[in-house]
Structure formats: structure tokens, C-alpha cells
Amino acid sequence: MIKVGHHLFLVALALFAMRCASEQPNDCASQLEAIAELEQQLFGNEEMVHDDVRSQLMKCYGEFANECHDAAETPEMLFRRADLLRSAGRFQEAMTQLRDVHDHYPQFEKRAISAFLVGFIAEVELNDREQAKKTYEQVIELHPESDAAEWAKLSIESLNQSTN
């Protein structure tokens, strides 16, 4: 038997899903509203995180990027999607998403961080020290003046110390 509260939650989620994929193509403002409402559901209630809300939010981020690829918010939506992918244990997909953000949005303010996070996920989540070190070296080379380059240097030092 479905509890009334759970049933109402599922109905609300279905309504958000319909709003995310707007009937009007490129209705970016409406999609951003739906995303904000889902984010509020997911992040506004710390005690109760629903995988179905996270999945729907990941889907909405992706749909927004596909339909509103020229919008200023697109790289941020993809960056957030990568974070949700990582938190869902979908590490390779998160890394791919972060690489895409880095490679396709050269003006994005979190570009260097995106590159660093690829290495971080390789190191921490996948225990792929070789890939992590290689990625950190690329961050330092491509973004030498960034905070991410400093983090990458520290991460390489840590990797080198743990192998000695």
C-alpha cells in the first residue's frame, strides 16, 4: 500500500519531469525554473535525498544543455550534472562530462576546476593513480595560474609521497 505522502511525492516528481522537457523547444527559462524546483527538492531537504529526484535532475540538466546549448547557464548545468553523476557512483560518466565542459566551454569560470576534478575522481574514486597524475600535470600545463593548478601540484606531491 502506497502512503499518501509518497504518492503525492511521485505525482509532484512526474509534474516536474513534464516541465523539464518543455513542449516548446528552446523554452530555456521554463526549463531553468523546473531545474531550480528539483534542486530545491534535492538539496533543500538534507534528511531525505531521493535517487529518483537526483536522476530526474541529471536528466533535466542534460536536456537543458541539448536544447539550450548556447545559453550562458549551459556549462554550469553540465558541471552540476557531473557532480550528481559522481555522487551516484557513475564515475566514468562524470569524468566524461567534466572533460566535455572543459573542452567545449573555454570561457567557463570553472573550466580549470573541471579539469582538476577529472584527476580527483581518477585518484579518489577509481584509485587510478597514473591517470590522476597525468590529469593533474595537464591541469598545471593548461591552467598554470589557477587555483586548480595549485591543487594539482599538491595532489601530485601527495601521490609521490605515498609511493615512496
Per-residue pLDDT of 56-101, as tens digits, reads 999 999 999 999 999 999 999 999 999 999 999 999 999 999 999 9
Q: Give phi and psi for 73, each to the nearest 5.
A: -80, -10
* Percentage of the chain lying above the pLDDT 90 cut: 73
Give the HSE-up count for residue 138: Cα atoms under 13 Å, Cβ half-sphere: 19
3-state SS, residue 35: helix
Give the integer Cα–Cα distance in Å for 42 and 53.
Answer: 6
Q: Report the C-alpha gap between 12 and 5 in whole angstroms.
A: 11
Phi-psi group of 105: left, alpha or beta (phi > 0 → left; psi -120 to 50 → alpha; rest → beta)? beta
Determine the pLDDT at residue 52: 85
Average pLDDT in the 19-48 region? 76
- Please, which pLDDT band fits residue 157 given cuts at 50, 70 and 90? very high
pLDDT at 31 over 50: yes
In this prediction, residue 56 carries a pLDDT of 93
